[in-house]
Amino acid sequence: MSIGSFLLRRLGSGVLAIVGVSILVFLFLHLVPGDPIDHLAGGEATPAQRKQIEKCMGLDKSLPAQFAAFLGHVVDGSLGHQCPDPKGKPTVSDRIAEVVPYTFTLAVAGMLVAVIFALPLGVLAAIRRGSWIDTLATTVSLSGITIPQMMFAPLILFVFFIGLGWSPGPTETGWSGIILPALAIGTHLMAMLSRMTRSSMVEVLGDDYVRTARAKGLPEGRVLFVHALRNALLPVITIVGLQFGSLLSGAIIVEKVFARPGLGTTLLDAITERNYPVVQGSVLVIAAIYVVVNIGVDLAYGLADPRIRRA
């Protein structure tokens, strides 16, 4: 199968998944009792104002018509209108575009933290099995997996900002402000990755081709990093890709602790204010990011493992 038809098939099933999530959320929002107009208009809205919001959100139309209108807004890229219309940011995509960079930076920074610490730790632990560094790696990964973000994030902010004064406060927006949030969000992934890298590397080191590489006199560094590591990284790449999504959702807690804007927070706010268009729009964007990342992972797989490329 060529790369092209593979991509096409993956894109197809990805679009299917996105449409599925959209329909699910749409139905869900509209079937649950509760009047969004009360929330958006406030208690003292005149009937005329209520009518206006109802019309703006399209709530006066039938369900299928509303869904068709939503699809139309997806096609024209606006993702719908905000009601009531706040000044300057009339469409849902404006509101989302404003926060996506924050979430994206945070997720990428978290991923970097995770990979930078996890790979060396996992590889060293696998090479020196049973040594103190192996014990260290096991301890680090077990604590990283079990420590709840709701405790870790406030603690590091507390220690490094209030206690030691080493890091800038939560409102700092420059690059130095990203360090603590990235650490908070990346720790769990780091723990999982180092564990994965270790066990995958241990397995690969026992394989025949590693013995062959050693037998033919290759330098140990080349055996470890070219022959072994490249194969050991395959399952690690999968986890990295799958977990990118969990970084997006983990972001919601870190965003709260560090008072950062972001996609998760926007969705949470939109749900509490029952702003249907914004909920629909953010869900769509999050699902789309998921799908794109997963396709990227599959492609990365092909690069790392020629066997898959040919298959």
The answer to whether residues 200 and 236 touch, using CB atoms and an 8 Å cutoff, is yes
Among 112, 162, 226, 308, binds other proteins (CB under 8 A): 162
Taking the complex as a whole, how short is the minimal distance between the CB of residue 187 and other proteins, in angstroms?
13
Interface with other proteins by CB under 8 A: which range of 31-39, 66-74, 83-91, 300-308? Answer: 31-39
Among 1, 75, 151, 164, binds other proteins (CB under 8 A): 151
Nearest residue to 297 (alpha-carbon basis) of 226, 230, 248, 239: 239
Q: Rounded to the nearest 5 degrees, what angle is found at the Cα of 142, between the Cα atoms of 136 and 144?
A: 95
- If one asks whether residue 210 binds other proteins (CB under 8 A), the answer comes out as no
Strand partners, 91: 81
Please state, in angstroms and as integers, the Cα–Cα distance from residue 37 to each residue in 40, 42, 84, 181, 269, following that order. Answer: 5, 8, 10, 36, 15
The H-or-E segment that residue 293 falls in is helix 276-304
- Here's the x/- map for other proteins, 284-303, by CB under 8 A: it reads as --xx--xx--x---------
Q: What tokens does 173 get? A: 């927006």
Burial, 79: exposed, middle or buried (Cβ in 10 Å; 0-12, 13-18, 19+)?
Answer: buried
- If one asks whether residue 5 binds other proteins (CB under 8 A), the answer comes out as no
Interface with other proteins by CB under 8 A: which range of 66-74, 76-84, 194-202, 210-218? Answer: 194-202
Q: In the complex, which residues of this chain contact other proteins (CB under 8 A)?
A: 13-14, 16-18, 20-21, 24-25, 28-29, 32-34, 142-143, 145-152, 154-155, 157-158, 162-163, 195-196, 199, 202-203, 245-246, 248-249, 252-253, 256-257, 264, 267-268, 271-272, 274, 279, 283, 286-287, 290-291, 294
